[in-house]
């Protein structure tokens, strides 16, 4: 372990237990630590946060190893009646954010008022009956207000809160690096973040290549079936609908009621022998499960010599179809071709459940976008994310078998040109919703469509993706009061009174501004290569929001309930 600079200052020691070297032989030292091991009342391994040193109780027949400390005196500071329930770990080196480029670190409140149209926010009762704070889901409004107040460049490591119920890899409280700038552009913020990440990236992990590539939301969905593509392996989704149509539809689906369909393919090279029958079953069932009651089909085809397919589909497609698909995909003997097929039916209620389970981390916005984004038909956008999910599942499985599919690189990627609005969550309509939040500025090329065709307007939002995980997101904000009011009132049909303070501020000569937030926990988790963000959080909560150590959340006293004017409501 590396020596930590000046770790002996202000401490009851002259050296850490990881510090003594041959050059220290003969020196009088003072160590503090835990007894890790004791042998024959003669050898003691003393351990601290930095290392282990062997102590020797003086003896006539002294044996000395490389570095040992001969004991003068010992003081037992504390005794341990049980061993630590977990091992002493090295503290993960937390990101050091440099206050570069004139950014000012400003702390903003967390006890605030609910922001309309975002995640579910925790509420905090007060001593005033019926009045509650909300715990902020992000410092969004504050950062914008600071820009309007003339602060120019703001930066904060901000604690945020979201009550998202049980979701994997999320915590009720988390930390993000928040940045906001006046008089800037999307590209400027991108370059800033690239430079920042490059600067803070651990040296021993190698430099990261900047600038990061950029991909539109449409291309991400089309090629990867997800808005946060893992680009470390180049298996792409391919639309083979037209090729598949050379075979008879009624043979493929076993019914003559279907008049049109779509087909999406994935090729995994040299995998036919690796994927067992039971693994195949598991992939197909998982895909079937996420698409639920819809009549989509997923087929795994093992390619054999002469482009013969080994699968239930082989008999339903003509050899010509298989040849043309195989040619298009560059598939050859020993490869696996995964095919997803689905009839182009009109949207029915049954599809709704499928939409909600299509993503690893179900995100309402993305699901809704899938439904209605642009002119692309619904079916393709249900099939595509299913195949996107299968792409990752098969890749993960092959890697557990020892296949090296992903590159070792850290693939940062900007995903841009998200839709600004999404249709209502309600099936029967209702006002549009913000894809991210109501403060994102429309793309200048689409601004004229705001009133006439809001669903076709792209936003100046950008997500930062690393190896298939979203680690940040931001946007250029609306800085004109009238545009913000149009969005709030006419498009989102929100009561502008809730954001009166922001609208007022925007009318005071707001500078053009934009910003970004990076999820520090996610980023750390990826840097440390941990399975869950819980592994990089001190005292994390469990999946259901419990602190297992202390038992929080817990009951409170009747006196407190009275103080906060709250009584328990037992819902059925």
Footprint (CB under 8 A) of a copy of itself, residues 68-127: 77-86, 88-89, 91, 93-94, 96, 99-102, 104-114, 120, 122-127
CB nearer to a copy of itself: pick between 327 and 547: 547
CB of 343 to a copy of itself, least distance (A): 38
Quote the least distance from Cβ 192 to a copy of itself, whole Å.
4
The CA–CA distances, whole Å, from 74 to 40, 56, 179, 554 equal: 17, 11, 52, 43
Out of 7, 71, 119, 486, name the contact with a copy of itself by CB under 8 A: 7
Residues 123-162 interacting with a copy of itself (rule: CB under 8 A)? 123-135, 141-142, 145-146, 148-153, 159, 161
Task: List binders of a copy of itself among 163-182 (CB under 8 A).
Answer: 163, 165, 172-173, 175, 181-182
Q: Which of 185, 255, 276, 542 binds a copy of itself (CB under 8 A)?
A: 185
Q: Is 50 an interacting residue with respect to a copy of itself (CB under 8 A)? A: yes
394 near a copy of itself, judged by CB under 8 A: no
Instruction: Tell me, residue by residue from 455 to 494, as one string, x for binding to a copy of itself by CB under 8 A and - for no binding.
Output: ------------------------xxx-------------
DSSP 486: I
Beta bridge partners of 517: 178, 473
Q: Which stretch binds a copy of itself (CB under 8 A): 5-13, 223-231, 451-459, 488-496?
A: 5-13
Q: Which is nearer to a copy of itself, 79 or 452 (CB)?
A: 79
Estimate to the nearest angstrom the gap between the alpha carbon of 45 and the chain centroid: 42
Q: Does residue 429 belong to the site contacting a copy of itself (CB under 8 A)?
A: no
Dihedral sign, Cα of residue 82, residue 85, residue 89, residue 95 = negative
CA dist 465 and 470 (Å) reads 4
341 three-state secondary structure: strand
Buried b vs exposed e over 307-319: b needs ≥16 C-beta within 10 Å? bebebebeebbee
Of 166 and 278, CB closest to a copy of itself: 166
3-class SS of residue 480: coil
Residue of the chain from 43, 233, 253, 564 that contacts a copy of itself (CB under 8 A): 564
Chain centre distance of CA 314: 39
Backbone torsions φ then ψ of 391, nearest 5 degrees: -55, -45
* Residue 200 touching a copy of itself (CB under 8 A): no
Whichever of 61 and 166 has its CB closer to a copy of itself, that residue is 166
How many residues form the binding site for a copy of itself (CB under 8 A)? 124
Closest CA to 516 of 184, 110, 119: 184
Q: How far is the CB of 131 from a copy of itself (least distance, A)?
A: 4
Using CA atoms, how far apart are residues 143 and 45, in angstroms rounded to an integer?
52
Stretch binding a copy of itself (CB under 8 A), from 207-215, 325-333, 340-348, 503-511: 503-511
Q: Say whether residue 512 binds a copy of itself (CB under 8 A).
A: yes
2 binds a copy of itself (CB under 8 A): no
Q: What is the DSSP string of 354-398?
A: HHHTSSSS--HHHHHHHHHSTT--HHHHHHHHHHHHHHHHHHHHH
CA of 303: how far to CAs of 271, 274, 280, in Å? Answer: 10, 13, 14
Candidate residues 14, 24, 34, 233; the one interacting with a copy of itself per rule CB under 8 A:
34
Residue 513: both structure tokens together: 């501004």
Tell me how far, at minimum, the Cβ of 453 lies from a copy of itself, in Å.
Answer: 25
Question: Which is it for the CA torsion 94, 99, 101, 103, positive or negative?
Answer: positive
């Amino acid at each position: 372990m590396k020596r930590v600079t000046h770790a002996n200052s202000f401490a009851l020691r002259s050296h850490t237990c990881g510090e003594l070297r041959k050059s220290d032989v003969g020196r009088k030292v003072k160590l503090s630590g835990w007894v890790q091991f004791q042998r024959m009342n003669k050898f003691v391994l003393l351990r601290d946060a930095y290392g282990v040193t062997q102590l020797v109780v003086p003896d006539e027949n002294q044996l000395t190893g490389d570095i040992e400390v001969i004991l003068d005196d010992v003081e037992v500071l504390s005794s341990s009646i049980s061993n630590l329930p977990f091992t002493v770990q090295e503290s993960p080196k937390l990101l050091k954010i440099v206050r570069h480029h004139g950014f000012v670190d400003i702390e903003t409140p967390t006890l605030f008022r609910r922001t309309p149209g975002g995640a579910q926010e925790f509420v905090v009762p007060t001593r005033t009956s019926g009045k509650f704070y909300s715990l902020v889901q992000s410092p969004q409004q504050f950062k914008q207000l600071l820009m309007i107040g003339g602060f120019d460049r703001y930066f904060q490591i901000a604690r945020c809160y979201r009550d998202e119920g049980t979701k994997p890899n999320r915590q009720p409280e988390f930390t993000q690096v928040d940045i906001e700038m006046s008089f800037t552009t999307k590209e400027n913020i991108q370059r800033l973040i690239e430079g920042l990440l490059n600067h803070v990236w651990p040296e021993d992990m190698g430099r990261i290549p900047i600038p990061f590539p950029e991909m539109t939301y449409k291309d991400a969905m089309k090629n990867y079936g997800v808005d946060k593509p893992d680009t470390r392996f180049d298996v792409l989704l391919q639309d083979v609908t037209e090729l598949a149509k050379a075979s008879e539809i009624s043979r493929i689906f076993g019914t003559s009621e279907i008049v049109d369909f779509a087909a999406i393919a994935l090729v995994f090279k040299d995998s036919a022998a690796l994927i067992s029958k039971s693994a195949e079953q598991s992939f197909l069932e998982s895909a079937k499960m996420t698409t639920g009651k819809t009549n989509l089909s997923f087929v795994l085809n093992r390619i054999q010599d002469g482009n013969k397919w080994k699968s239930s589909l082989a008999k339903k497609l003509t050899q010509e179809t298989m040849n043309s698909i195989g040619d298009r995909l560059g598939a050859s003997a020993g490869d696996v071709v995964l095919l997803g097929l689905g009839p182009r039916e009109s949207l029915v209620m049954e599809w709704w459940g499928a939409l909600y389970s299509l993503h690893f981390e179900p995100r309402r916005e993305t699901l809704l976008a899938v439904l209605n984004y642009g002119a692309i038909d619904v079916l393709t956008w249900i099939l595509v994310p299913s195949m996107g999910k299968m792409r990752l599942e098969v890749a993960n499985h092959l890697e557990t078998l020892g296949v090296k599919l992903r590159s070792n690189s850290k693939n940062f990627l900007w995903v841009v040109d998200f839709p600004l609005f999404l249709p209502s969550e309600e099936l029967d309509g209702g006002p549009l919703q913000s894809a991210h939040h109501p403060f994102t500025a429309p793309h200048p090329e689409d601004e004229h469509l705001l009133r006439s065709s809001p669903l076709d307007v792209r936003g100046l939002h950008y997500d930062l993706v690393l190896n298939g995980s979203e680690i940040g997101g931001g946007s250029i904000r609306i800085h004109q009061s009238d545009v913000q009011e149009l969005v709030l009132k006419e498009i989102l049909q929100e009561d502008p009174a809730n954001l009166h303070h922001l609208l007022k501020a925007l009318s005071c000569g707001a500078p053009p501004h934009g910003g970004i937030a990076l999820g520090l926990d996610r980023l750390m988790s990826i840097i440390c290569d941990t399975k869950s963000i819980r592994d990089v959080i001190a005292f994390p909560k469990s999946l259901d929001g419990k602190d297992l150590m202390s038992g929080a959340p817990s009951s409170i006293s009747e006196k407190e309930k009275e103080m906060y004017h709250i009584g328990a409501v037992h819902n059925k």
